[in-house]
Structure 1
Amino acid sequence: MKFNLLIENHMQAPSLKNTNWVLEIKGEKNEQDLKLQEKIMSNILSYTQEVDKLSIEEHIFRDPKASPSDIANKLGVPTSHIVYLFKYHSNITFSEYRMHSRIKDSVNLIEQGYLKANTLESLAYKTGYASYNPFFSAFKKVTTYSPQDYLKSMKF
């Protein structure tokens, strides 16, 4: 399931609620993953909630180098737990989750008036992109609009 912006009377921020997470077990597992599953099964729900919190409230993905290890360190769990979480309990990859989180963050900043005093390029840097081009591509992929077209559709 992909995240896309909801379009009603005007565009709204993409939702990163638990639509990404799958609490039931999915996919075939190797022996190592089966052992890991036994250890962390009771923590899956809390892990998903904590990852969402790090993304939405703490903006962990504003760090251009944010990785599963960074999330694991913040949560005080082994990196293998976060890798397992995205492998078996997520509808999207870690990279896709990070991209969607960054675009959600950028849309929220736009709606809060960030661009009244800043450029789209600075918005790209603030939300974790190394330059404007990958930001533009991700924005269009997630929202189906270019940043400029999104701005035109906004009613300030």
Structure 2
Amino acid sequence: MVHDDTEFINRTFTDAACFGNTGTVEFLLNNGRITSDSFDKALEYASSSGYGNPDTAFFLYNKKLASGKAVLKAFEQAADVSVAEFLFENEVIAENSINVTFDRATCCYSTGQAAIMKFLLKNECISAESIGKAFISAAISSETDALEFFVS
């Protein structure tokens, strides 16, 4: 039976987080059988996807059950600037994680990633070397919006 299958419940929990189904995530979390590994994965999935619903990532973070490693991965994989900003403001984010996030934002240029790139640049936490690499990458990829941002 499903109610006895902890592995199935944990998989459903992480899937619900990936799809931004906060109500389902809360319901399954309240059953008390979610493992710490599944919780960490759920935070990472909700941050990197959440199908445009960052509320699931906020909900999970505010439970204060995620490992420090999962929080850093959630920051690095954030698909929405509100998640990146929230984690940046509420956690001590390692320089390496900031650089990973910036590199990801510049190589996977999308509206969400562009906003994350701008947020990190605005907070002056990116090295000149990383900014230079991003500029070159944008030029090679013909990302004129990114180039415009760098030169303005």
TM-score (norm 1): 0.31
Higher helix proportion: 2
Instruction: Using CA pairs under 8 Å that are at least 6 residues apart, name the structure with larger relative contact order, 1 or 2.
Output: 1
TM-score (norm 2): 0.31
